Amino acid sequence: MVMSGLAGLPNPPYYAVIFSSRRTEVGDGYGVTATQMVELAARQPGFLGVESARDVNLGITVSYWRDEESIRNWRRNVEHIAAQERGRADWYEAYEVRVAKVERAYGFQR
Amino acid sequence: MVMSGLAGLPNPPYYAVIFSSRRTEVGDGYGVTATQMVELAARQPGFLGVESARDVNLGITVSYWRDEESIRNWRRNVEHIAAQERGRADWYEAYEVRVAKVERAYGFQR
């Protein structure tokens, strides 16, 4: 079970995949597949954590990975490829993916 | 006026500041200040764009910058510092900031 909320991560460096998307009106199967993909990602080698938020304008999911190889492997996962194809066919109006190397991090906790 | 939605960005490399937060129950002044900070960020040298989403669990704002110097300058902006202090005093239960260098990017548009 992947927690929703802030991801607890090791110290940098590590990688972030920023997935920003606008949805279509088509909702069929989206929620189930989105949950499955998070659970599946969490079982991949090199997965460190994930954070996600969606409102009426935009959804942003940031997944965190140990290295670029982990990201490449996840991108080529067969179930993930099927979900990506369904996403382009049905669920997403547009999306942008940015792959970034996290160099520093800091936080605040009340 | 800063558009809400997907940011149109130049080709990488550029920098991303991923700001993930959980809010308190205190709402006083938050919306006005959040909007002001986005407008103010957009007028800083090196600002490239911003994407934001918030739901009941988490808010994620990703701002994009030309280089690290732009990020440092924005972090030290006097009005921004005042807003950060107010955020820690009132609005945020917890937050994490990750500064990352975007190495590659790709997208999809219906």
Predicted pLDDT of residue B88: 97
Q: Is the residue at B35 inside a domain?
A: yes
- Whether residues A20 and B93 touch (CB distance < 8 A) is answered with no
The rounded distance, in Å, linking the Cα atoms of A44 and A66 is 11
Query: Which CATH number does the domain housing residue A53 bear?
Result: 3.30.70.100
Closest approach of chain B CAs to the CA of A89, in angstroms? 9
Number of structural domains chain B divides into: 1
> How many other C-beta atoms lie within 10 A of the C-beta of residue B86?
16
Q: What is the mean pLDDT of residues A6-15?
A: 96
- Whether residues A16 and B16 touch (CB distance < 8 A) is answered with yes
Tell the residue number behind the tokens 């130049």, with chain if given. Answer: B10
Q: Is the residue at B1 inside a domain?
A: no
Closest approach of chain A CAs to the CA of B71, in angstroms? 12
Q: Is the residue at A89 inside a domain?
A: yes
Predicted pLDDT of residue A51: 97
Could you give the 3-state DSSP secondary structure of residue A1? coil
Whether A70 has a pLDDT exceeding 70, the answer reads yes
- Whether residues A96 and B103 touch (CB distance < 8 A) is answered with no
Domain that holds residue A48: 14-102
- Write out pLDDT tens, residues A71-100: 999 999 999 999 999 999 999 999 999 999
Q: Is the residue at A86 inside a domain?
A: yes
Q: Is the residue at A5 inside a domain?
A: no
Task: Show residues of chain A in contact with B108, CB under 8 Å.
Answer: 88, 92, 94-95
Which residues of chain B, if any, have pLDDT below 70?
A: 1-4
- Whether residues B107 and A97 touch (CB distance < 8 A) is answered with yes
Predicted pLDDT of residue B1: 46
Closest approach of chain A CAs to the CA of B39, in angstroms? 18
Whether A94 has its CB under 8 Å from any CB of chain B: the answer is yes
Whether A105 has a pLDDT exceeding 90, the answer reads yes
The rounded distance, in Å, linking the Cα atoms of A55 and A91 is 15
* Predicted TM-score of the model (pTM): 0.95
Q: What is the mean pLDDT of residues A3-28?
A: 93
Whether A54 has its CB under 8 Å from any CB of chain B: the answer is yes
Tokens (6 digits) for A106: 């800091």
Tokens (6 digits) for B16: 């991303």
Instruction: Closest CB to A104: pick one of B53, B99, B107.
Output: B99
**For residues A95 and B107, is the Cβ–Cβ distance under 8 A?**
yes
Closest approach of chain B CAs to the CA of A97, in angstroms? 5
Q: Is the residue at A57 inside a domain?
A: yes
Predicted pLDDT of residue B82: 97
The rounded distance, in Å, linking the Cα atoms of B102 and B110 is 24
Q: Is the residue at A83 inside a domain?
A: yes
Tell the residue number behind the tokens 């005093």, with chain if given. Answer: B89
Q: Is the residue at B109 inside a domain?
A: no
Task: Show residues of chain B in contact with A106, CB under 8 Å.
Answer: 96-97
